[in-house]
Amino acid sequence: MKEIIVASTNEGKIKEIEAMLNEIGIEVKSLKDVFHEDIEIEENGKTFQENALIKAQTICDRIHKPVLADDSGLEVDALNGAPGIYSARFMGHDTSYDVKNQYIIDAVKGKERGARFVCAMALCIPDREPILIEEYFNGEIYDHIAGENGFGYDPIFYVPELHKTSAELSMEEKNQYSHRAKALKKLYDILKNEGNA
Instruction: Provide the annotated active-site residues.
Output: 71
Distance of CA 187 to the CA centre of its chain: 14
Count the neighbouring beta carbons within 10 Å of the beta carbon of residue 41: 15
- Is 158 annotated as a binding-site member? no
- Is 9 annotated as a binding-site member? yes
- Is 73 annotated as a binding-site member? no
74, with CB counted inside 10 A (0-12, 13-18, 19+), is buried
Instruction: Report which secondary-structure segment, H or E, holds 120.
Output: strand 114-124
- Is 103 annotated as a binding-site member? no
CA-nearest of 180, 162, 115, 169 to 142 is 115
- Is 42 annotated as a binding-site member? yes
- Is 71 annotated as a binding-site member? yes
- Is 72 annotated as a binding-site member? yes
Q: Which residues are part of a known binding site for substrate?
A: 8-13, 72, 151-154, 174, 179-180
